[in-house]
Amino acid sequence: MKVCRILPIGLLIVSLSIAQAQFDATFVQTPLSPNLLWGKWGNDLRNSHYNPNAAGPTNPRLLWSWPGGAIDEPLVDDTGVLWIPVHPYSNSLRYTHYRLYSGLSGGPPGTVWPYWGQAATPLIFQTAVYFRTSDGTFVDFLGNWPVLVLAGGQYDIRVYSPDPLDPLTDGLLWIGNVGWPAYRSGLTAYTDGASGYFMLGDNTGLVRAVMVFWVVIIDTGERFPYLYIDAPLAGAGAVYSLTGVSTYNSDVMVSTHHSGDILVYNTMSLGAPSPAWGSSLQGLSTTNPPDSFPIDSDICDRPAVFSSNNRTLFVCATNYGRVYAVQLYDNNERFAPAKLWVAELGKPIMAGPSIGPDPINGNEETLYVVTRSSSTRSTLVAIRAADGVVKWQRTLQNVSRCNPTIDRNGRIFIGDDRGYLYAINPDGSILWARYLGASIRVSPALVFIPPEAGGPLDVLYVAASNRMLYAFVESTPIRIPPGGGLGTGVGGGW
């Protein structure tokens, strides 16, 4: 296990600035590797729950099922392995941990580290490895070195990064606490161009960024991991979500707070992010164009999402049932925050928003939220992202608290509290429904497993609250050769 070195932050910024100027380069282009199959909570830094690379099943077949379930969304890495936070049955001591499943066969699962809180979806982000000589001469860099972060939700986090010269050794393993528990907002990442950071929020409203990178001295073979915990950025109320954008050139991170506050941070400059803009649900309700009546008080306990062009932020007022679009960048790419529209749905928002293209309407971006339409039912609402117009509403047969997942064909996959899994077409019609026996509150994860990982295969992973995990694929018609026939067997009912 390598020992972390902490560099004085001023010296660190100066040295990285000199290196950037010398090479005229952005060392870390993207926080997340494009090879991840389900990159983090919400799949991407925008929290979109949209996968442009995978198609969900139109006639589902069960590929496998395995005990364990999930208490939050999995991370699916580039090898097709699922990293899933679980809380298993136990006859004595019960604890949460991470289980690793094969995306193609399920188990037997591996187990990674117990925790005492509710473990969050893991994060794998990219950072830099700098190569220099022992006299300090900068030689070269890697900009896509992986760092794994696991968060237990109450007491500790674990950070692991393999050794750049010998990835099979222990590498960096850091265990510690950042801020006050619990990390209900989950984990996200960003880059300032020189290094990768992971970011988390806590229950006191604080947001913290943690820098991780490596330095390799090429003439001695020494290598040192560096981990720097930046000073917290103060917010108001527990942090519910952290939302970012996909590249270095788009330079903001957003936190939403249980108190109804929305804060935007500048992440472009080297070092800690800095506050750039802030508002609240109450403030947005009275900003032009004004709502029909102002919000006195509301909570922001739904995740914020970004548009695909990284210009517009979408946030929800949960109890009032309103969705807001806030422009952060104008058409000239200038930072110019402004309220664009509000969609007043009139019912509490229970899940979403998710965002993806609608192929039957020119691939226009569409938001999907779930409202509570009665004590026993929810409604899936499709909203045009450009202007806030409600395109359609589909009443589900039960209550749902599940964030919708969107495939590359614009189909939506969502579960409900009675255990039904739905596939819904882009026009709002139901394609199919399957009963899994227990409530589905964790958003389905949809991935395309490439040939190098054992595919090609599109797989939809769904967790039910009876602690079962299911993998669904497209049914393949059976071809019967001339003169052949069907044998007998036992059907699975799927």
Dump pLDDT digits (tens) for 288-309: 999 999 999 888 888 999 999 8
pLDDT at 490: 31
User: Mind listing the domains of the chain with CATH numbers?
Assistant: 21-474 (2.140.10.10)
More confidently predicted of 203 and 91? 203
> CB-hemisphere CA count at 13 Å for 29?
6
Query: Measured between alpha carbons, how far is residue 207 from residues 78, 198, 273, 282, 298 in Å?
Result: 29, 11, 10, 22, 21
Dump pLDDT digits (tens) for 39-69: 999 999 999 999 999 999 999 999 999 988 8
- The CA angle 125-272-241, to the nearest 5 degrees, is 60
pLDDT at 301: 86
Residue type, 19: A
Stretch 252-268: mean pLDDT: 89
From CA 134, how far away is CA 5, in angstroms rounded?
16
Instruction: Indicate the range of 254-263, 343-352, 433-442 predicted with least confidence.
Output: 254-263
CB atoms within 10 A of CB 324: 24
More confidently predicted of 311 and 482? 311
Dump pLDDT digits (tens) for 148-167: 998 866 657 889 999 999 88
Dump pLDDT digits (tens) for 27-37: 888 899 999 99
Query: Measured between alpha carbons, how far is residue 222 from residues 64, 227, 329, 358, 393 in Å?
Result: 45, 17, 44, 52, 60
Instruction: Indicate the range of 93-107, 123-137, 239-253, 323-337 predicted with least confidence.
Output: 239-253
Place of tokens 């952005």: 26
pLDDT at 181: 55
Residue 267's contacts (CB-CB under 8 Å, 6 or more residues apart) are 190, 191, 192, 197, 209, 244, 251, 252, 253, 273
More confidently predicted of 249 and 305? 305
pLDDT at 300: 87
Q: Which residues pair with 468 in a beta bridge?
A: 67, 464
Q: Is pLDDT at 178 greater than 90 in this prediction?
A: no
CB 42 within 8 A of CB 73: yes
Find the Cα–Cα–Cα–Cα dihedral 261, 123, 350, 469, rounded to 10°.
-170
pTM: 0.90
pLDDT at 205: 85
CB atoms within 10 A of CB 345: 21
From CA 111, how far away is CA 442, in angstroms rounded?
20
More confidently predicted of 246 and 337? 337
Collapse the DSSP code of 212 into the 3-class scheme (helix H, G, I; strand E, B; otherwise coil) and give the result.
strand
Stretch 125-137: mean pLDDT: 93
The residue count of the chain comes to 494
Q: How high is the mean pLDDT of the chain?
A: 85
Place of tokens 């296990």: 1
Stretch 70-81: mean pLDDT: 93
Q: Is pLDDT at 494 greater than 50 in this prediction?
A: no
pLDDT at 1: 41
CB 364 within 8 A of CB 355: no
Residue 94 pLDDT level (bands cut at 50, 70, 90): low
From CA 415, how far away is CA 405, in angstroms rounded?
10
pLDDT at 148: 93
From CA 371, how far away is CA 7, in angstroms rounded?
49
Collapse the DSSP code of 239 into the 3-class scheme (helix H, G, I; strand E, B; otherwise coil) and give the result.
strand
Peptide bond before residue 60 is cis, with ω within 30 degrees of 0: no
